[in-house]
Amino acid sequence: MSIESTQERMAGDAQQSAPKAERSPVKPASPYPADVKNPSVSANGETPAMDLPIKPTRNLPVWLLYNLVVPFVLLGVAAAVVVGLGTDESPSRPPIDDTMAGRLFALPAVDVAAVRSLESTGQKLQLTTDGTVVPYREIVLATEVAGQIVEKSAKCEAGKFVKQGDMLMVIDPTDYELEVKRLRRLQQQEYEALAEIDQEMANTDKSKELAMADIELQQRELQRRQALPDQFASQGELDQARRALLQAEQQLLQLQNQMELAKKRRIRLQSAEQLAKMQLEAAENNLKRTRIEAPMDGVIVSEQAELNTFVARGSAVVTMEDTSKVEVAASLRTDQLYWVLNQNRSEDLVLAQPDGTQVRGYQLPPTPVQVRYQLSGRDDLTYQWRGQLIGYDGIGLDETTRTVPVRIVVDHPQQFIVKRNGKVIGTHGEANVAGPTTLVRGMFVNLSLELSPAMDLVVLPSESLKPGNRVWQFIPDASVLDVSLDLETLVSQAEVAEKVESGEASINVEAPVKELVPAVTADDEKALADALAEKGFDPTKWVPGKLQIVQDVRPVDRFVPESAPDAFIDNESEPQFWICEVPKMNDPNHNDSGHILGNGSYVIVSPLGSLQSNTLPVRASSDIVERSENGRSENGSSSDIQAGEPQL
C-alpha cells in the first residue's frame, strides 16, 4: 500500500468521525466579489472538513474548583460565623401575677366622666336655630281724599323715625273747606225751619184751645135756647145756634189737621237737619283727611308721592313700619317641635287653654327665647334680646325644607345687653355701647329656645357618644377581680395595658376564661409587688369595674354652660357636652332618675377598639369616682359643669 492511499484513507476516516457542523439558516456574506469564486469552497458548494471549527475539550480541574470547592468553602465560612456569634435566648418570663393588684393591673385602663342630669345643672334645655328679623307690623298709608299735595314734612323721608300724630303730608284743603261751610249753612237753614214749624205748632195749640172754648160756649147757648118754651125761641134761632156750634167744631177740626201736618213737616225737617249734620261731619272728616299723619311710632320705609303731586283717593303715599315690637321668622325641625310640645305646663296655662282639642292642636306653649346677633367681622361681640315663641307662622310644613315655620316676638327691641367673649360689657341706653341699638328687619340672628322638658335628660361629654346611639357605661364592680384568668389572657391583657398607657395601642382585648393559673406563692408576691411599683402602678388609685354598652341614647342638642362664651359651640378647644335622652330601666332604684344613665353613673370617654360582647372588665381612676361620690354625698347633686372643666 502506498503512502498516498494511506493518507487518503485517514482523511476519510477523520471526515466521518468528525461531527458535522450545523448550518446556519442565514448564509454568511462572502468576502469575495460576486464574480470571484471562493477558493476554499468545492465545486458542489461544501466547505472542506479541514476548515471546520474544532470543539475545545473540557478543563476538569477548573470545573471542580468552581463547582465543588468554592461552594463548600462558603458554607464552612457561614457555619463558622454562626457558631462564632452564638445564640440569643429569650429571657425567662417572670411569674404571672394572679394577685388582686395584678388582676387590677391586667385590666385595661379607661378614662371616665360623671353623668349629670340636666335638672342638676340648673339650666334648661336650649334648642338652637336661626331666624330672620321681620317687621311686627307694616302699614301702607293711602290717601282718603283726592287732591294736590301742597305740603310735605321733612320727616317724611325713608329711614326717618316719626311719632304718632306727626304730620307727613297735606293735600289742598280749599274745596273741602268750602264744602264744610256750605253744609254748615244748610244745617243752619234746616235748624231754622225746625224752629219755624215749632212756632207754628205752638200757635196751633193756642188756636185749638180757643176753638174748644168757643165750642163749649156754643153748646151752652144751644142748650139754653132749647130749654126755653116754644113761644120764646123760634126754630130759626135754634138752627142758628146749631150752625154756630158746627162752625166752632169745624174750626177745631181744621186746627187739629194743621197740627198733624205740622208734626209731619217737623219730622221731615228734622230728618233733613240730621242729614245735613251727617254731611257736615263727612265734609269735616274729609277736611281732616287732607292732613296725613303718622298713626303710630315707627320708621318711614318708603314714600311714593312728592310735593305738588296730584293723588287720587286710595293712592299709596307712605309705607311705615311699627318699631314698638319686632318678629323673628324661624323654622323648627320636627324633632325640635317635639320638645317644644313636650314641656312641663303650669296649671294656669292648662286651665287657660280652651277645651276644644281642635284649638289646642294649633297652639304652641309660650316659650322664652334668647335672640343673639353677632356683628360681621366682630365675632367677639354679641347683642342679646329676650323674646317669646307665640305660635305657628301659618299652618303646615315648608315644602322645600320640610320644617315648621314659627313666630317669635320681641316685645322690647330697644332693650338688650352686649357681651364680649361671653361677659356682659354694657346694656341699652349706655353711652359707651356701640353697634346696633335695636333689632331691625333683615338681621340674621341665632335663637335659643329655653324649654322645660317633661322628661329627665342627662348631660354627656361628646367623647362618650359612639356611632349607633351607643354609650359605654362604667359600672364600679369589684367582683370582676374575683375571677382568676388563664395564663394567656393575663399575659395578653398586661401587655396591652402597658401599651395603652404608653399610647402605643388601643384596647381590643377580651379573652374567654380557660384553665386557671397556678396560685402565686408567698415568695413571688413581694417580687410582683416590686415589679408593679417599678411600673408606677398604685392599686389604690384605681377602681375595678365593667364596661356596659347602653343602647338608644339619643342626642338632643349641645349643652352650653351659662358661664361659657357665646362662641362656645364653635370653639373646638373647649370640651363639648351633649344633652341626651336615655332609655328607662326596669329597676328604678339604680340611680336618681330611674334611667339607665343618671346622677351617680359614669361613662367612658377614652377610645377603645371593637368589643366582642356587651361587657368588658376595665379599671378607672379612683380620683374621679371617689370625687363624684363625695360630691353627691356632701352637696346632693352637683351642678358645676363649667366651660373648660369637664368632669374627667
DSSP string, 537-577: --GGGEEEEEEEEE---EEEEEE--TTS-TTTTT-TTS--E
pLDDT of residue 299: 92
Contact 131, 563 (CB under 8 A): no
Q: Which residue has the higher pLDDT, 526 or 83?
A: 83
Per-position DSSP letters for 219-232, written without gaps between them: HHHHHHHHHS-TTT
Cα angle 249, 255, 256; round to 5: 90
Element (H, E) at 471: strand 470-476
Q: Which residue has the higher pLDDT, 643 or 68?
A: 68
d(CA 585, CA 581): 13
pTM: 0.61
d(CA 535, CA 541): 14
pLDDT of residue 404: 92
- All domains of the chain, ordered by start, with CATH? 100-121+457-635 (no CATH), 125-136+325-451 (2.40.30.170), 138-172+292-322 (2.40.50.100)
Tell me what percent of the chain is helix, strand and coil, each rounded to the nearest 5: 35, 25, 40
Q: Is 616 exposed, middle or buried (0-12, 13-18, 19+ CB in 10 A)?
A: buried
Residue environment code for 251-283, b if the CB has 16+ CB neighbours within 10 A, otherwise e? bbeebeebbeebeebbeebeebbeebbebbeeb
Q: Which residue has the cell 287720587?
A: 312
Say whether pLDDT at 23 is over 60.
Answer: no
pLDDT of residue 589: 44
Residue 530, Cβ neighbours under 10 Å: how many? 10
d(CA 299, CA 136): 12
d(CA 119, CA 595): 14
pLDDT of residue 482: 78
Say whether pLDDT at 451 is over 50.
Answer: yes
Q: Which residue has the higher pLDDT, 427 or 172?
A: 172
Say whether pLDDT at 637 is over 90.
Answer: no
Residue 176, C-alpha cell as written in the block = 273741602
Chain centroid offset of residue 433 CA: 29
Say whether pLDDT at 133 is over 90.
Answer: yes
pLDDT of residue 406: 93
Element (H, E) at 204: helix 174-227
pLDDT of residue 168: 92
In sequence order, which ranges of 319-393 are alpha helices (DSSP H)? 334-341, 347-352, 357-360
Confidence of residue 124 (pLDDT cuts 50, 70, 90): confident
- Per residue in 330-385, pLDDT tens? 999 998 999 898 887 654 454 445 555 556 677 888 899 999 998 887 878 888 99
Say whether pLDDT at 387 is over 90.
Answer: yes
Confidence of residue 518 (pLDDT cuts 50, 70, 90): very low
Question: Hey, which of 58-62, 118-122, 177-181 has the most confident mean pLDDT?
Answer: 177-181
